[in-house]
Structure 1
Amino acid sequence: MNTKTSAAAPWNVWTWPNLVTMIRFAGIPVFCYLLIATHHYIAALVVLAVGGGTDWVDGFLARRLGQVSRFGRLLDPLVDRLYILVAVVVLTGVGLLPWQFTSVLLVREVVMAATVLALRWRGYEALQVHYVGKTATFVIFASFPVFVLAGLHNAAEVWARPLGWALAWWGITLYWLSAAIYIVQAVGLLRAARAPTPTGRP
């Protein structure tokens, strides 16, 4: 169940889970520099794999250490989305990802942004990350190096591109499924906010 912003967990910015999230966030410009400025594709993919593949670490630490915070709840999904958006846009720009893949992901992000704004307008926090969304993020990240491998090595394209598309469609399906779950939850909250409060008889 979601709560109003005033009833949320304390901010607690300086915690170990938030430090991990900040380090992951710092990897985004490093990835862009390695890929665009130096063309070190392998090093860029390593940064991407570490930053995206460790998205579960901060959440695990927050629960294990009892350091769940509002700041972490906001920053963690934001960093996950930034990793995906930056990666797909940059990799598409250099011709290593198909534009169809990028278009479907960008449309989903627009839908989710509109949902979050609607919740904020009513005074609610963003919904907590669902395990379906986390799984989708992991699978989508797994498709990136496969697509890059297919684009960089002709010998690998015969098997890497079909594998990349299989991972991509699996991830995209889960990604949109998680969006549907969030939207259903958000609509329920917004309807409850608009419903008149019943009054009892004296």
Structure 2
Amino acid sequence: MSEDRAAAAPPTTAGTDRIWTIPNLLSFVRLLGVPLLLWLILGPEEDGWAFVVLALSAVSDWADGKLARLLDQFSRLGAVLDPLADRLYILATLFAFVVRGILPWWVAVLIVGRDLVLALCLPVMRRHGYGPFEVHYLGKAATFCLLYALPLLLLAQGDSTLALIARPLALGFTGWGVLLYLWAGALYLGQLLWVVRNTPVVPPERRISVRSATGV
């Protein structure tokens, strides 16, 4: 899943500075699919091909995490690329869906707003000598739901039998994805409060070590 590899990668794994690994190559290919996906949804409105791109992205997302573990090819770059690709797919698809009227604007605002709030919290974490928020299993579950909700929402368009079957599944994954996304965001804010209340501000010259925000 989206954040599995970043969470599972041990910080002392040998070869963490590697760039040309199979998992990283899959992540690069996934990133190249983002503009293609936007064009398919907003240009010719080829929802079938857009579904294929989203489905392949979900499969490659699972595969690169698995391969990173099986081949012992964890890397710092991979820990950045994998969640970055997930976020870009989610944000790009949300934008396209709002433009097309597939999703209401407030759903996109909730998801994007949560990420913006957490991004604004990162400088505070760094002032206390901590890196990004420790990945929570609810965050993984939320990303999983959203990544599967998006292609199902495409299938749910129209009045075909397939659309009628996909619609309740799409609504279910979307609802649970948004709920878990906000819940995970609240837990990350809890980590921030614990850090602010229990740790001192670190002088800039000493903010070189990255620690996990534990304590919640």
**Equivalent residues in 2 for 1:30-179 (5 A)?**
30-120=36-126, 122=128, 124-153=130-159, 160-179=166-185
Distance 1:173 1:8, change over 3 A: farther
Cα offset, 1:51, TM superposition = 0.9
Identity of aligned residues (%): 36
The CA deviation string for residues 160-186 of structure 1, in whole angstroms up to 9 with x for no partner, is 544432221111111122223333334
> TM-score w.r.t. structure 1 length?
0.78
Distance 1:190 1:14 in 2: 38
Larger helix share, 1 or 2: 1
Moved more, 49-58 or 66-75: 49-58
Note if contact 2:17-2:76 (Cα within 8 Å) is conserved in structure 1: yes
Note if contact 2:22-2:67 (Cα within 8 Å) is conserved in structure 1: yes
Distance 1:193 1:18, change over 3 A: farther
CA-based RMSD of the aligned residues comes to 2.8
The CA deviation string for residues 134-170 of structure 1, in whole angstroms up to 9 with x for no partner, is 2211211222233333333376666654443222111
Distance 1:94 1:70, change over 3 A: same
Tell me which amino acid in the other structure corresponds to 2:185: A
Note if contact 2:129-2:201 (Cα within 8 Å) is conserved in structure 1: no
Note if contact 1:139-1:171 (Cα within 8 Å) is conserved in structure 2: yes
Tell me which amino acid in the other structure corresponds to 2:41: L
Note if contact 1:74-1:126 (Cα within 8 Å) is conserved in structure 2: no
- Number of residue pairs aligned between Structure 1 and Structure 2: 190
Note if contact 1:97-1:148 (Cα within 8 Å) is conserved in structure 2: no
Distance 1:94 1:41, change over 3 A: same
Note if contact 1:53-1:141 (Cα within 8 Å) is conserved in structure 2: no
> TM-score w.r.t. structure 2 length?
0.74
Residue 23 of structure 1 aligns to a residue in which SS? helix
Gaps of 5+ in 2: 1-10, 203-216
